[in-house]
Amino acid sequence: MSARGPRVAILGTGMIGEVHRRASVLAGAELVGAMASTPKRSAEVAREWNTHPILSANELAALQPDVVHVCTPNAFHSEHVEAAIEAGAHVICEKPLATSSAEADRLTHLAAASGRIAAVPFVYRYHPLVREIRARAAAGEFGRWQLLHGSYLQDWLLSPSATSWRVDSKVGGPSRAFADIGSHWCDLMEFVTGERIASVFAAMSTTVPTRPATSTAAFGGGKSDGPLVDVDTEDAATVVFRTASGVTGSVVISQVSAGRKNRLWFEFDGAERSAVFDQENPESVWLGSEASAEILQRDPGRGSSEQRRLSALPAGHAQGYAQCFENFVADTYATVRGGTREGLPRFADGARSNHIVDAVIESDRAGRWVEVPRSS
């Protein structure tokens, strides 16, 4: 890696690819190439981003990137991660890491054997007040956990005319809503509380049975009037779980909840205190006890060391999802340089998520409790 910053290639240039690009540039990266869905689109985006169009992942070796960001549809993750590692690059791969647990495990082992840093953007870990709750939990402030519950609700697929490549299981994988956003909630719960999901009982539903075959942009509000096809992935899911230590919990996941744009919400109830966090309002958290309740504001001058480190702006100057992504990418690049950063989500965390997703799918199909492998 040069002193100026890492040489970075981005595979996948949709909404999330642009988020990766912005965060990488702010972290000092030199963007050496970008690949979109077609050669024509790759050339167009390369001009917009002032970089080299990548027509195939086979070109990565010649470009010699230090880091490759894989932001392509889920079914292509394995191919593109392998190409990046074969090119000698470190990797950031969007979640779900793969469309099955077995494939996610294989990619995790491949990255470990290569000695490359391999990260997955579970970026909600990077809200400063999430780190504050985590630090207080580790210090025992909440006492023994009693109940862990919450939801992650969106409405971008509420309209029967809205669709995306994510809807098609052949491209997005057998789970859509839970693999896409339920994975974030479960990762955040385990990261904050230290609990590990041991078994799940799940019910999944497809509330819009047919959608247009022609994809529209995620979160873009676009509609398609193309021919309709059957939907084979879920719009919503409700999951009850038990952790390895015996704590019960639940989470509701939806991409069809009207008015909810990106509401990841949790309440973690301990024997002494409870904590509530809402990703759409991340500048404060609610902390409750039997005698009182308080609102804790994000403040770089107070609280845990990680809350202060990740607070890029003064109190009262709102920061949110974009800063989470920027801090995640900056931490990944710092780790590539040989540094150590607390809480960086790795491929092992991505594979762990895949195992939970697969257990949820099996539980819904079988109508019973399903265990999550202990080793995951």
**Mean pLDDT within 169-175:** 97
Residue range 51-101, pLDDT digits in tens? 999 999 999 999 999 999 999 999 999 999 999 999 999 999 999 999 999
Does residue 152 contact residue 236 with C-beta atoms inside 8 Å?
no
What was the pLDDT predicted at 5?
87
**Mean pLDDT within 351-371:** 98
Four-way CATH pick for 7-123: 3.40.50.720, 3.30.1640.10, 2.10.25.10, 3.60.20.10? 3.40.50.720
What pLDDT band is residue 298 in, cutting at 50, 70 and 90? very high
Does residue 185 contact residue 278 with C-beta atoms inside 8 Å?
no
**Mean pLDDT within 175-187:** 98
Residue range 104-160, pLDDT digits in tens? 999 999 999 999 999 999 999 999 999 999 999 999 999 999 999 999 999 999 999
Residues 171 and 340: their CA atoms lie apart, in Å, by 35
**Residue extents of the structural domains in the chain:** 7-123, 128-319
Per-residue b or e along 119-153, where b marks 16 or more CB atoms closer than 10 Å to that residue's CB: bbbbbbbbbbbbbbbbbbbeeeebeebeebbbbbb
What was the pLDDT predicted at 226?
76
What is the DSSP secondary structure assignment for residue 6, as one 8-state letter?
A: -
Does residue 6 contact residue 30 with C-beta atoms inside 8 Å?
yes
**Mean pLDDT within 203-230:** 82
Edge-to-edge strands, sheet with 370-371: 293-297, 284-289, 273-278, 263-270, 145-153, 248-254, 236-243, 197-205, 370-371
What pLDDT band is residue 263 in, cutting at 50, 70 and 90? very high
What pLDDT band is residue 343 in, cutting at 50, 70 and 90? very high
Given the structure tokens 């990077």, which residue do they identify? 126
pLDDT at 2 over 60: no
Q: CATH number of the domain at 128-319, please?
A: 3.30.360.10
pLDDT at 244 over 70: yes
Residues 343 and 79: their CA atoms lie apart, in Å, by 27
